[in-house]
């Protein structure tokens, strides 16, 4: 079962007697210290921002200014139609705004509004926002937990936690054994916790509140949804640069077209209308809107996968990860250490060895190993008094403590890495060899092994000034087990099938590390490198050793950082997991830093774009799968936009330049945009598949082959539209008839591209595609609407011909250009191979 840590600053609030609850003064003190229990604060009013964003939409200003132009020359019908077209565009902005607000309300809807709390020995119903850490809350069956807390009383409890985990099945909950005060440990199983936003299904629970407001797990998700992402991501910056270039090109094309129309004798009104129509067709305002929307969707989907996104760059990069450097404890394994073997050195026995180990341990260190030792050793001797501690560090790999034994003497105790402690002791060669063999056997079985030693009569003045480095008497070995997390081996196998390397980096003994790595499927052999060896190979420029690396043992934070940078130098996109302050350099240097949300420090969380809510390796793989699907969805949406805009802009510019009447009027652009916008936003929101798929790690959005397909398809479609229009005009059918034929073809093109690019998956895509085809048929066929839109009714044969061309040309072009580009790529590969072999 997963663990959840108790924040150190909350411990004072949890020591009140459970019998009567907090007093009024304690409630006020805790509220002043921790704030109110506002889990889902209302975001500041965004109507002003909505108005600014709507006013920045060039389509809105185009419609208003063009309608004014029509009104100035007395064309009232066109003016009214264009003004009416503003309504659905503003409505779309309102809808997106409503969705944002609705999502926040949805997040808040599962939260309690009131709570039954015990204060001053009296039960009262209070607003949930009034709860503070330390409160005792009574939760009945069917009620939601109003805050995060530990269950102090209750039997046969079951809770529903789908709002946090996405799993709908009931979760068993248990009361934490306690006396007059809460039994505080460094971390406690989630089965003893009740979480805000989850619901008690069976039983009646007494909850001791630990975290309120934004500090709850649910509050973290809500805060992310409200705050969103700060700053531009690289992809946003690239899109912004692309938009600037396209705007400049569109401006030049509009000036050129206006000048040509004037020279052709069409007059000022036609010139302005031609330029305005081309401008709105060419302005790529959908690109930044779509990108921002997709990043927001990514934040939400990753949160559902237990990966809290703190910066939007994670949504971009997570799908491109090619290497994961992960911790062992708590990520690959459960992170729950249990003492499994005790091997004391004569003449000491098990009890004496555990006493030495306990004297070299501190519960406040937060180290699960210290907690396991102290739990196994029992209560310390009250006569002992600690004089000085040399705490554990990665460089020294041991902890030393000096104690007054209460009998007029002192004792120095040490515990730490087995080989480190052995080096501090004098042992006959054969005895040392026997202990080393036992260490290897225990480590090979996947156990974490530490050694203990002591100096019974030290020189007190000397040891108080400097940590002893010699003179210790070996006391024995302790072995701890940390089982593999459920599903980790399957997740590792899935990552490897998708082309992702997994490197386990741990401070454990090499034998322990390789045993866990083999069990998890990270390593298929017994090869393991120490942190020192990795550092030496990096300095020597040995790239081959890094290519084969899968397990690093006895690694320091500096070595982990060096490994990350070396992998990046080889072109890898590196994700790094970490939980402590010592992991901050590697987390900051990684392409994706992933902090542990349950046991991670504030420093680790602050520098990491992603925080795991369950500290599980499976969640990392699931997040990569979601990121890859999101990137694929975004590429499909941008492909659609480009394949639609290229023929739209090309035909809108070419027809007037050739001297023909305008191919599109402003109202037609409105019709097309009302299809393009929702299609680009919603039609391509495919869900991640169950299996992680392989993906190119390249940072570029489209490669050369993809660009050839996009541009080729767009130009082929544009040629078909121009040909349809010119043929209709040449046949004497009139401009309105020619426009209708071309528009039907272009609208059906959009429906065909939606179906093709989504591969027929997704109900929303089918609804939009069907509505698109329906609009292409109905709008020209209803005389009243056709007259307002300057369209001409078509016969069934004419409509089918236009629709068939609009469907066959782009879809056929996509398939044809893909085949040709693949054939050329294959030929180039063969030529390179032939050239290389001949050389």
pLDDT digits (tens, 9 = 90+) for 567-577: 999 888 899 98
Choose among 184, 179, 181, 292: nearest CA to 228.
292
Q: Output 811 or 74, whichever has higher pLDDT.
A: 811
Average pLDDT of span 618-635: 84
Question: Residue 182's pLDDT is what?
Answer: 46
List b or e across 194-230, with b for residues whose CB sees 16 or more CB atoms inside 10 angstroms: bbbbbbbebbebbbbbbbbbbbbbbbbbbbbbbeebe
Residue 581: per-residue pLDDT? 57
CA dist 504 and 327 (Å) reads 6
Give residue 409's Cα distance to chain centre: 56
- d(CA 481, CA 494) in angstroms, rounded, equals 26
- Selected from 2.70.150.10, 3.30.420.300, 3.40.50.1820, 1.10.3720.10, the CATH number assigned to the domain covering 3-40+111-225 reads 2.70.150.10
CB 806 within 8 A of CB 746: yes
Report which listed range, 79-88, 571-580, 592-601, 698-707, is most confident.
571-580
The predicted pLDDT at position 37 comes to 81
Considering only residues 281 and 474, tell me which one the structure prediction assigns the higher pLDDT.
Answer: 474
pLDDT given at position 789: 83
For the cut 70, the answer to whether the pLDDT of residue 792 exceeds it is yes
Give the whole-number percent of the chain exceeding pLDDT 90: 18
CATH dotted code for 338-481: 3.40.1110.10
Task: Give, in degrees to the nearest 5, the angle at Cα 390 between 387 and 392.
Answer: 140
Strand 473-481 with 501-505, pairing: unpaired
Query: What would the DSSP string read from start to end of 268-336?
Result: HHHHHHHHHHHHHHH--THHHHHHHHHHHHHHHHHHHTTEEESSTHHHHHGGG--EEEE-STTTTB---
- Of 151-160, 768-777, 824-833, the least confident: 824-833
Fold of 307-333+485-615: Rossmann fold (3.40.50)
Which are the contacts of 820, defined by CB distance < 8 A and separation ≥ 6? none
Range with top average pLDDT, 281-285, 642-646, 744-748: 744-748
**pLDDT single digits (tens) 720-740:** 999 999 999 988 888 889 989
Residue 830 pLDDT greater than 80, yes or no? no
Arithmetic mean of pLDDT over the chain: 79
pLDDT value of residue 8: 62
pLDDT of residue 767: 92
Question: Would strands 501-505 and 323-326 be described as parallel, antiparallel, or unpaired?
Answer: parallel
Fold of 238-287+629-834: Calcium-transporting ATPase, transmembrane domain (1.20.1110)
Better-scored residue on pLDDT, 16 or 335? 335
Would you call 372 helix, strand, or coil by DSSP? Answer: helix
Dihedral sign for Cα 418, 421, 423, 429, please.
Answer: negative
Model confidence pLDDT, tens digit, residues 665-684? 878 887 888 888 888 888 88
pLDDT above 70 coverage of the chain, percent = 75
Q: Is 60 exceeded by the pLDDT of residue 325?
A: yes
- How do the domains of the chain map onto residue ranges? 3-40+111-225, 48-109, 238-287+629-834, 307-333+485-615, 338-481
pLDDT digits (tens, 9 = 90+) for 517-560: 888 899 877 778 988 899 999 998 888 888 888 999 888 778 88
Which structure tokens are listed for 63?
């419609």
Q: Is the dihedral of CA 247, 253, 259, 261 positive or negative?
A: negative
């Amino acid at each position: 079962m997963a663990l959840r840590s108790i924040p150190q600053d909350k411990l004072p609030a949890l020591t009140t007697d459970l019998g009567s609850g907090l007093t009024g003064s304690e409630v006020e003190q805790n509220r002043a210290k921790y704030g109110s229990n506002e889990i889902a604060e209302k975001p500041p009013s965004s109507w002003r921002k909505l108005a600014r964003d709507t006013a920045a939409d060039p389509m809105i200003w185009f419609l208003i200014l063009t309608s004014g132009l029509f009104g100035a020359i007395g064309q009232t019908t066109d003016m009214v139609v264009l003004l009416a077209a503003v309504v659905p565009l503003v409505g779309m902005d309102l809808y997106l705004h409503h969705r944002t607000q609705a999502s926040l309300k949805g997040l808040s809807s599962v939260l309690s509004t009131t709570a039954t709390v015990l204060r001053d020995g009296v039960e009262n119903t209070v607003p949930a926002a009034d709860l503070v850490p330390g409160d005792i809350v009574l939760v009945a069956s069917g009620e939601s937990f109003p805050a995060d807390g530990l269950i102090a009383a209750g039997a046969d409890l079951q809770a529903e936690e789908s709002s946090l985990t996405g799993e709908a099945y009931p979760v068993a909950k248990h009361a934490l054994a306690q006396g007059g005060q809460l039994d505080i440990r460094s971390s406690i199983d989630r089965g003893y916790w009740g979480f805000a936003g989850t619901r008690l299904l069976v039983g009646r629970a007494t909850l001791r509140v630990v975290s309120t407001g934004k500090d709850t797990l649910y509050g973290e998700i809500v805060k992310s949804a409200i705050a969103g992402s700060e700053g531009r991501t690289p992809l946003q910056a690239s899109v912004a640069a692309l938009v600037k270039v396209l705007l400049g090109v569109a401006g030049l094309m509009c000036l050129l077209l206006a000048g040509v129309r004037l020279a052709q004798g069409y007059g000022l009104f036609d010139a302005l209308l031609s330029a305005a129509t081309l401008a709105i067709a060419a302005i790529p305002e959908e690109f930044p809107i779509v990108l921002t929307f997709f990043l927001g969707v990514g934040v939400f989907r990753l949160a559902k996968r237990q990966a809290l996104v703190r910066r939007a760059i994670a949504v971009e990069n997570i799908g491109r990860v090619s290497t994961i450097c992960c911790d062992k404890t708590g990520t690959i394994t459960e992170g729950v250490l249990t003492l499994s073997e005790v091997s004391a050195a004569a003449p000491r026995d098990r009890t004496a060895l555990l006493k030495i180990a306990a004297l070299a341990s501190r519960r406040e260190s937060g180290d699960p190993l210290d907690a396991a030792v102290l739990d196994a050793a029992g209560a310390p001797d009250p006569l002992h008094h600690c004089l000085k501690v040399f705490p554990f560090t990665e460089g020294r790999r041991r902890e030393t403590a000096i104690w007054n034994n209460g009998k007029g003497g002192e004792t120095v105790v040490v515990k730490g890495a087995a080989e480190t402690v052995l080096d501090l002791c004098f042992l006959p060669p054969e005895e040392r060899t026997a202990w080393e063999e036992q260490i290897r056997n225990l480590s090979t079985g996947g156990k974490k092994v530490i050694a203990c030693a002591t100096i019974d009569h030290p020189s007190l003045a000397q040891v108080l000034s400097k940590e002893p480095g010699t003179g210790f008497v070996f006391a024995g070995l302790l072995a701890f087990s940390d089982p593999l997390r459920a599903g980790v081996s399957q997740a590792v196998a899935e990552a490897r099938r998708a082309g992702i390397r997994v490197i386990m980096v741990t401070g454990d003994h090499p034998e322990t590390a390789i045993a866990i790595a083999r069990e998890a499927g990270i390593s298929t052999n017994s090869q393991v490198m120490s942190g020192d060896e990795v550092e030496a190979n990096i300095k020597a420029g040995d790239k081959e050793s890094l290519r084969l690396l899968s397990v690093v043992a006895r690694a320091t934070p500096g070595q982990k950082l060096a490994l990350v940078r070396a992998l990046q130098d080889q072109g890898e996109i590196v994700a790094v997991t970490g939980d402590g302050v010592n992991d901050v350099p590697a987390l900051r240097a990684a392409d994706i830093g992933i902090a542990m949300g349950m046991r991670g420090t504030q420093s680790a969380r602050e520098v990491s774009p992603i925080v795991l809510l369950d500290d599980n390796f499976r969640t990392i793989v699931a997040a990569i799968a979601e990121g890859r699907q999101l990137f694929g969805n975004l590429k499909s949406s941008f492909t659609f936009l480009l394949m639609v805009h290229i023929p739209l802009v090309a035909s809108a510019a070419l027809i007037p330049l050739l001297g023909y009447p305008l191919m599109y009027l402003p109202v037609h652009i409105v019709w097309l945009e009302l299809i393009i916008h929702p299609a680009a936003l919603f039609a391509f929101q495919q869900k991640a598949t169950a299996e992680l798929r392989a993906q190119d790690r390249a940072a570029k959005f489209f490669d050369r082959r993809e660009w050839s397909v996009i541009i080729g398809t767009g130009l082929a479609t544009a040629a078909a539209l121009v040909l349809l229009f010119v043929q209709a005009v040449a046949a004497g059918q009139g401009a309105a008839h020619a426009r209708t034929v071309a528009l039907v073809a272009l609208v059906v093109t959009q429906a065909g591209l939606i179906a093709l690019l989504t591969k027929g998956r997704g109900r929303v895509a089918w609804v939009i595609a069907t509505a698109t085809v329906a609009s292409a048929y109905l709008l020209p066929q209803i005389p009243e609407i056709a007259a307002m839109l300057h369209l001409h009714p078509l016969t069934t044969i004419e409509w089918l011909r236009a629709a068939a061309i609009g469907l066959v040309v782009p879809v056929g072009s996509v398939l044809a250009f893909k085949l040709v580009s693949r054939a050329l790529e294959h030929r180039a590969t063969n030529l390179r191979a032939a050239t290389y072999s001949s050389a």
